[in-house]
């Protein structure tokens, strides 16, 4: 662990964020660190970007543990939760942010078995079983003094059809239902579940898309605010949700999309 040592009596909340070395995961971690969180960063890759993220978090006063792991390897999820839990003496929030884009774009009539499985194994199956492992750990350990929550980062693709990204749309629509299921199941345990639906956000993932086409769509009013979203737009919301600033909010999708989702005539 970087930036501190394990505390038997915690005085700060702790969050585990998947896909945390860059993009929305990194933005969420930075915003949460400013709210006083210590962080467990989980990512498939440990590289210079991961090191840079850790250094930025430590500079904000956070203690940080990095876990290099494949979210699709569901058999390892209990070990990941236990390792992170033991490092800090507990975890109060799980942010299910990790996901893979649909690349290359492929018509739904031509989508392969492997491409379909690859997307769902990470975006849906991996997040489901990591949440299951986290929830079961919460229920057997003593209750935390901090607000406890699970946050799912889905997408406008959860309900907006894109026929050349069908596997991504299906995975995010499924993850939206997962968030509702856990919201109902964990409510009586005073564990809140939130779904965050980003729209067109400038990240490393969207940089690999046809940004000229998206730029034109946004500027023409397809997004009423007529701009790309920033990673911080999502990170600030996740930080607020995880801090318990909205204690009667539970289970519904919260859009961060510049009003893209609103039907217009």
Cα(110)–Cα(125) distance, integer angstroms = 23
Residue 4 clears pLDDT 60, i.e. is over it: no
What pLDDT sits at residue 80? 98
Give the count of beta carbons closer than 10 Å to the beta carbon of residue 104.
8
Greater confidence (17 vs 141) lies with: 17
Give the pLDDT confidence of 184-207 residue by residue, as tens digits: 999 999 999 999 999 999 988 777
Strand order in the sheet with 253-256: 64-68, 38-43, 14-18, 93-96, 148-153, 191-198, 253-256
What pLDDT sits at residue 1? 66
Domains of the chain and any CATH numbers:
14-256 (3.40.50.720)
The 8-class DSSP code of residue 55 comes to H
What pLDDT sits at residue 10? 83
């Amino acid at each position: 662990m970087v930036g501190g040592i394990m505390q038997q009596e915690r005085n700060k909340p702790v969050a585990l964020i998947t896909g945390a070395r860059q993009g929305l995961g990194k933005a969420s971690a930075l915003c949460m660190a400013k709210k006083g969180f210590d962080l467990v960063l989980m990512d498939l890759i440990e590289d210079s970007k991961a090191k840079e993220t850790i250094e930025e978090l430590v500079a904000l006063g956070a203690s940080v543990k990095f876990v290099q792991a494949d979210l699709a390897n569901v058999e390892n999820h209990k070990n990941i939760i236990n390792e992170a839990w033991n490092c800090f003496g507990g975890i109060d929030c799980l942010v299910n942010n990790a996901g893979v884009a649909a690349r290359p774009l492929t018509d739904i009539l031509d989508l392969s078995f492997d491409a379909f499985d690859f997307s769902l194994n990470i975006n849906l199956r991996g997040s489901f079983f990591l949440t299951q492992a986290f929830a079961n750990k919460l229920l057997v350990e003593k209750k935390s003094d901090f607000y406890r929550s699970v946050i799912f980062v889905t997408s406008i693709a959860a309900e907006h059809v894109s026929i050349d990204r069908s596997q991504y749309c299906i995975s995010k629509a499924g993850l939206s239902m997962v968030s509702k299921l856990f919201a109902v199941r964990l409510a009586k345990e005073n564990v809140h579940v939130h779904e965050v639906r980003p729209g067109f956000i400038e990240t490393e993932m969207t940089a690999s898309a046809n940004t000229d086409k998206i730029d034109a769509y946004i500027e023409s009013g397809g997004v009423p605010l007529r701009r790309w979203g920033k990673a911080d737009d999502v990170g600030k919301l996740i930080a607020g949700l995880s801090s318990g600033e909205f204690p009667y909010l539970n289970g519904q999708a919260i859009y961060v999309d510049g009003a893209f989702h609103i039907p217009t005539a």
